[in-house]
Chain A
Amino acid sequence: MGRTLAEKVWEQHVVRRADGEPDLLYIDLHLIHEVTSPQAFDGLRIAGRKVRRPDLTIATEDHNVPTVLGPIADPVSKAQVETLRKNAAEFGIRLHPMGDAGQGVVHIIGPQFGLTQPGMTVVCGDSHTSTHGAFGALAFGIGTSEVEHVLATQTLPAYRPKTMAIEVSGELPFGVTSKDLILAIIAKIGTGGGQGHIVEYRGEAIRGLSMEGRMTVCNMSIEAGARAGMIAPDETTFEYLRGRAHAPTGDAWDAAVAYWRSLRTDDDAAFDTVVEIDASTLAPFVTWGTNPGQGAPLSGAVPVPEETSDPAAAQRALDYMGLSAGTPLSEIQVDTVFVGSCTNGRLEDLRAVAEVLRGRTVAARTLIVPGSMQVKADAEAEGLHEVFTAAGAEWREAGCSMCLGMNPDILAPGERSASTSNRNFEGRQGKGGRTHLVSPAVAAASAVTGRLTAPADL
């Protein structure tokens, strides 16, 4: 019987296999940031160990960094960033610090440099490592103990998860984006639907997505509980990679592409689980609750808790969010709009926002945060920043920003946002903050009206 994409990549990386033990997997790329690495480096020092492959490791500063120019004001954040700098210097790891042209959100810079390539294993002490699966890489988030393990050995012991196919047939209707698609998928299968699985996104609608759209989809695999999300590489993938700083060149490029073409699920391979979705039935999608599975089409209404699959959780969510059942989602007023993050902080996302904001004015505080300094430079070369500032939005420096409450960009208690990030958990964007997850286009339209709005309704 044939093999799935996930099985092929897994098998290619088995260093050691023994009965009754997890496989020992080789890791091709280890991404590091300041939050989940300090205790791992301490562990190496205590045990007198080195980093086995600093040349397969890269670090950036993203979670704690302010997105306005200037030093880090919070002494605790500053100490964490300085700890990363010391560790990178001591262990010989390439670091892109604040202010560096290569700095950015860890999952934006890997693909940007061409370091993320098909068929690789990629790990990072961050759950959104699943982003890199968009290239047909096997990429997953790990905790600090595993970060230390990879630093010391360049391997990880792991059992192969089950496989799940999410088949997305048809075409996304005009105005419906990759973010709407993944929010709809999570609402369908639930926050635990992918647990224990590597998901492969397949089908016509997936093939039709750009690399940036594919990254948005794979990024949120973890919000459906999946260990990883993958998309088979194709011409779109190869064209994205061609010419990037760390992509192969010459004969090596040809050899790599020949191998990459083999990275597809065989026709006679079987998945443990199959989910089918018809893209043509989808519409702009937003969340109303406090987990990413609590979402609905923007044209709908806040649900009645008793009519949901988990009434107690839905009621708790409505209480926290300050919402009443039956309220049309498009009548929910927002105080702040956030565009950015590893989910939607790439150039294509910023173009979508600019398209909506051009010639309009925002009615709510709007933060537009590029995912990397390179994205910032590219956006400015196209003049997008002028569109944003003319509309009254704030154009910031690169970082994780308002995706999580670790830097100065946070919501005040009770403040409500439309956010292109990935988590609407209680307090995620600041204690007491209320988050509605949306696509970049819906974020921009919501900024204009001050309530959750689809661009088509402007």
Chain B
Amino acid sequence: MEAFTTHTGRGVPLRRSNVDTDQIIPAVWLKQVSRTGFEKGLFAAWREDPAFVLNDPVYEGASVLVAGPDFGTGSSREHAVWALQQYGFRAVVAARFGDIFRNNSTKMGLLPVVLPAETVEALQSAIEADPATEVTVDLSARQVRWGAEAAGFEIDDYTRWRLLEGLDDIGLTLRHADDVETYENGRQSWLPTTV
């Protein structure tokens, strides 16, 4: 996983609530067996509308998505995270996230930042007023900064450490293989197997 410490880039305001993962990447894109090329499918249906915010040239090259509440609800497809990252996003700011999307993001190094709804709206307004606004997402300090503003965000210590170091969960778990084996030896004999 790519480490995340501090990122500074321009933002895109996505003023829609309940952006489900079917919108982030429609199902037809999920037929691929590779991990690459999903940027073309990002918001594929919405991008057909010339008025959609990602089609506005002033936001070209932006890397922080500032979304409405309940971003990433619905399907567990991690392809949504891959699509956002491959398009160029490093962080998503929203008041609430779908649980699975948020989990998937932290496994891949896309930082989900939870801020109060009013703060998210203030950030969206600042970006709309000046699309060149630089937004800094500082995981070390647990803070988002833009212009003269700064807002703190919460993230648990363990996930923060894993992201800062760019550590792979599987490698971390395999350090505890003995614990897994001990647990397995104590499982109830009636539990089913698939064989």
Contact = CB atoms under 8 A, between A and B. Distances in A.
B4 to A, nearest CB: 15
Contacts of B179: 15-16, 24
Interface in B92-107: 96-100, 103-104, 107
Given A192-B73, A431-B45, A143 B78 contact: yes
B33 interface: yes
Contacts of A16: 176, 179
Taking each of A24, A42, A94, A161, which has the highest tally of chain B beta carbons within 10 Å of its own beta carbon?
A24
A153 B180 contact: yes
Contacts of B195: 55, 94
Interface in A277-298: 291, 293
Nearest to A197: B99
B33 A195 contact: no
B103 A39 contact: no
A248 B192 CA distance: 8
B157 interface: yes
A155 interface: yes
B98 to A, nearest CB: 7
Contacts of B108: 145
Interface stretch (A74-82, A170-178, A202-210, A380-388): A74-82
A270 interface: no
A216 interface: no
- Counting chain B residues whose Cβ lies within 8 A of the other chain, the interface size class is 35 or more
Nearest to B169: A149
A35 B30 contact: yes
A127 B75 contact: yes
Interface in A107-150: 114-115, 117, 120, 125-127, 141-146, 148-149
B173 A153 contact: yes
A425 B169 contact: no
B22 A56 contact: no
Given A143-B81, A145-B108, A291-B20, A195 B98 contact: yes
Contact of B45 (A49, A253, A427): A427
A191 to B, nearest CB: 6
A379 to B, nearest CB: 25
B181 to A, nearest CB: 9
B190 A142 contact: no
Interface string B124-148: 0000000000000000000000000
Contacts of A127: 74-76, 100
Contact of A15 (B28, B33, B176): B176
Contacts of B194: 29, 54-58, 93-94, 115, 246
A12 to B, nearest CB: 9
Given A125-B76, A404-B27, A24 B100 contact: no
Interface in A299-345: 310, 312-313, 316
Contact of A196 (B35, B79, B99): B99
Contacts of A252: 189-190
B78 A80 contact: no
A149 B187 CA distance: 20
A420 interface: no
A120 B191 contact: yes
A20 interface: yes
B79 to A, nearest CB: 8
B69 to A, nearest CB: 7
Contacts of A117: 191-192
B193 A55 contact: yes
Contacts of A64: 31
A149 B193 CA distance: 19
B74 A24 contact: no
Given A22-B158, A406-B31, A426 B23 contact: yes
Interface string B143-161: 0000000000000111000
Contact of B156 (A47, A159, A255): A159
4 closest Cβ pairs, A-B complex: A143-B78, A143-B104, A145-B107, A38-B33
29 contacts: A20-B157, A24-B173, A26-B184, A28-B187, A29-B194, A35-B31, A42-B33, A54-B194, A55-B193, A63-B30, A80-B31, A115-B192, A117-B192, A142-B103, A143-B76, A144-B104, A146-B103, A146-B104, A195-B70, A225-B98, A227-B99, A246-B192, A246-B194, A259-B188, A312-B15, A313-B16, A316-B16, A404-B22, A423-B22
Given A142-B100, A143-B107, 18 more contacts: A21-B158, A26-B180, A36-B76, A55-B193, A83-B33, A114-B192, A120-B191, A126-B76, A145-B108, A155-B173, A192-B96, A223-B74, A225-B99, A246-B192, A252-B189, A404-B75, A406-B30, A428-B27
